[in-house]
Copies of this chain bind each other. A is one copy, B any other.
């Protein structure tokens, strides 16, 4: 049942930043900068009463775990060396600074993503990692082009917006139509054909990412079904300083494709107020968004080859692409650098584990997931030897530990909980009851045990997919702690004499 729910989730949101680790589905903190006051119009939202939980509920009676089959006393010394080295190195931050400040954002198909890949390959070789390679992947090449949104009546005014990834363009002259504001799909369905010829505005306050992102991913087609000519979505965030958040949307091939964009909380609330006052605002949306031919890209792969069981693999990684705004610092430059640096640090310390540790910087997570799918296809033959796959894609805030897939064998959970005790001194020793990731989703569905790298995500959606996802938001100390956390777990899982899950084949 849990697996079925998980599969349903993953396939529903496949392009839309599919896997939301459980620690990111909490309702936001009560007060935040730039956060609009909890005015009557906002607290009255029906959305909060119908938020679905995209992940399985906590099991009422936890399954008792077997005793761990790893002796962590043997790993205190290497763990101490790893943590000490991570916390005294500025290498990860310097590399993330190069990636963000000098290469910048990295949407699939962009020159900057190409540059990032070339740079990483060269640097990984200079680090002395094993089997450094670019595994070619054809990726979609969506470009935003010029775009704008303005109110025509009752008051001419520019509105801040960002087109949604995968959206089609408007005609050159734009689409001008009345805006109809709804607070939920239920409100849309109740209006039905009355939205024909109109621009549907989804003003859905953020509760948690999983519950709210549905409006971004499927709002356009849901509105098109009733004849709407465009769809605008309140940005998926608890706070705003006129801050639009982009992200992927997916068209339902059964419906007409209508252009769609994110607007700010401020713009969405303005339209709501006008709508509530019966002012029937009209808008003009212009977008040049389009797909160019698929582009050549690559997953970046490198290893520390295992000393005794080199064909068994512990996989770590994040996605190297980003949206075309900001610097892709937290999402997911930091996740990539963290995983890569874990390997570099082990190499520097001369810590070669029994099994292979492999880092993958996946391409095209944001708007296609071609990287994650390509990894599965290219490595299908060795997936049964993948002991554990860890994905870091929640930002590089204070690390908390890992979210192990609910489907993982009890022996794997018992061992990971035991290994995490090595991280108690840096307070990163929590193993959450579920986890995974968009890029490792394809191999998890093939039976690989997956885990998310968990951090304090309370600020992540403030900057997620915005121009404000920049290096200044990253605390170098947190990045160093993330590196330490990732490296200790990857090393210990790769080196422990017994396999993590109690047998040499991973999975259930």
Considering only CB atoms and an 8 Å cut-off, how many residues of chain A contact the other chain? 47
Contacts of A273 in B (CB 8 A): 97, 101, 471
Contacts of A103 in B (CB 8 A): 155
Q: How many angstroms between the C-alpha atoms of A28 and B442 in the bound complex?
A: 46
> Does A385 sit at the interface, judged by CB under 8 A?
no
Q: How many angstroms between the C-alpha atoms of A33 and B35 in the bound complex?
A: 8
Q: How many angstroms between the C-alpha atoms of A36 and B469 in the bound complex?
A: 10
> Which one, B157, B241, B269, B468, contacts A466 given CB within 8 A?
B241
Q: For residue A374, give the distance in angstroms from its CB to the closest CB of chain B.
A: 29
> Which one, B101, B270, B463, B478, contacts A101 given CB within 8 A?
B270
Q: For residue A27, give the distance in angstroms from its CB to the closest CB of chain B.
A: 15
Q: How many angstroms between the C-alpha atoms of A104 and B270 in the bound complex?
A: 11
Instruction: Give A245-286 as 1s and 0s: 1 = Cβ < 8 Å from B's Cβ atoms.
Output: 000000000000000000001100110011001000000000
> Does A299 sit at the interface, judged by CB under 8 A?
no
> Does A501 sit at the interface, judged by CB under 8 A?
no
Q: How many angstroms between the C-alpha atoms of A102 and B462 in the bound complex?
A: 29
Q: How many angstroms between the C-alpha atoms of A277 and B155 in the bound complex?
A: 47
The stretch among A37-45, A137-145, A343-351, A420-428 that forms the contact with chain B is A37-45
Contacts of A104 in B (CB 8 A): 155, 157
Q: With A32-B33, A33-B459 as known contacts, state yes or no: A472 contacts B39, CB within 8 Å.
A: yes
> Does A476 sit at the interface, judged by CB under 8 A?
yes
Q: Is the CB of A34 within 8 A of B239?
A: yes
Instruction: Give A432-444 as 1s and 0s: 1 = Cβ < 8 Å from B's Cβ atoms.
Output: 0000000000000
> Which one, B101, B270, B468, B471, contacts A242 given CB within 8 A?
B468
Q: How many angstroms between the C-alpha atoms of A155 and B111 in the bound complex?
A: 13
Q: Is the CB of A242 within 8 A of B34?
A: no
Pairs A–B under 8 Å by Cβ, sample size 28: A33-B34, A33-B238, A34-B243, A34-B462, A34-B463, A34-B473, A36-B472, A39-B475, A42-B472, A97-B277, A101-B155, A101-B270, A160-B467, A240-B241, A241-B243, A241-B462, A241-B463, A241-B466, A241-B467, A241-B468, A242-B466, A242-B470, A265-B472, A266-B470, A266-B472, A269-B470, A269-B471, A270-B470
Q: Which 7 residue pairs across A and B have the least CB separation, nearest first?
A: A37-B475, A33-B33, A36-B472, A269-B472, A241-B468, A32-B33, A242-B467
